[in-house]
Amino acid sequence: QVQLVESGGGLVKPGGSLRLSCAASGFTFSDYYMSWIRQAPGKGLEWVSYISSSGSTIYYADSVKGRFTISRDNAKNSLYLQMNSLRAEDTAVYYCARHSKYGSGSYYFDYWGQGTLVTVSS
Amino acid sequence: QSVLTQPPSVSGAPGQRVTISCTGSSSNIGAGYDVHWYQQLPGTAPKLLIYGNSNRPSGVPDRFSGSKSGTSASLAITGLQAEDEADYYCQSYDSSLSGLAVFGGGTQLTVL
């Protein structure tokens, strides 16, 4: 069965850095696009970043562009999110999610991890 | 402020039918982009509920259905059960934004 397990969250001071990991199993990881999606406490979902199956195409939300870097290691079935220059507003549960495609180009998230909490506070 | 607008809350008694709307614009739902729905039970990760406007993944009861018309989409839940109490989110794509996906603000469903 498909499993996505995030790790690496924790408490960090403003301006600090953190690296999140997502270990995938139960499917051919290298065949799928992946994304990071976050949810601030008591708030809704916000898409953060996307990476294509080969890693050649990457997108970021404007709110994290220039500070976050998404990457993947298909040999290790792992997805990563390097987060630098962290701000209080980055405090959230971060989910990794697998993409599936519907029709000619609509993407949705068919599997999600359990999430890892990142808290940015002094 | 989400580009997809959902009511903050809806409620219904067990056995009743409820609908949750997701209102967009000409740059997202109205442009023909598909709508997908997620259910988030308290304290858990979101789970795919409806994809491609009206398709249910394997394992999702047929009490859940989705539709899309014009600049809006709807999620309907019939035969409401206590276990349906959760937050529901719609998701689509917006051509006027640089992001890959946009979510509605979420709707909290309370089963009375």
pLDDT tens string A5-57:
999 999 999 999 999 999 999 999 999 999 999 999 999 999 999 999 999 99
Most A CBs within 10 Å, among B48, B75, B87, to test the A interface: B48
Q: What is the pLDDT of residue A110?
A: 96
Q: CA dist A5 to A98, B4, B44, B45, Å?
A: 12, 29, 13, 11
Most B CBs within 10 Å, among A106, A110, A112, to test the B interface: A106
Q: pLDDT confidence of A105, banded at 50, 70, 90?
A: confident
The Cα A24–Cα A70 span in angstroms is: 15
Of B2, B91, B99, nearest to A61 by CB-CB distance is: B99
B63 touches chain A (CB under 8 A): no
The Cα B48–Cα A111 span in angstroms is: 7
pLDDT tops 90 at residue A106: no
The Cα B3–Cα A11 span in angstroms is: 31
Q: What is the pLDDT of residue A35?
A: 97
Q: Which of B65, B107, B95 is nearest to B3 (CA)?
A: B95
pLDDT digits (tens, 9 = 90+) for B67-111: 999 999 999 999 999 999 999 999 999 988 888 899 999 999 999
CB-CB contact of A75 with A23 (8 Å)? no
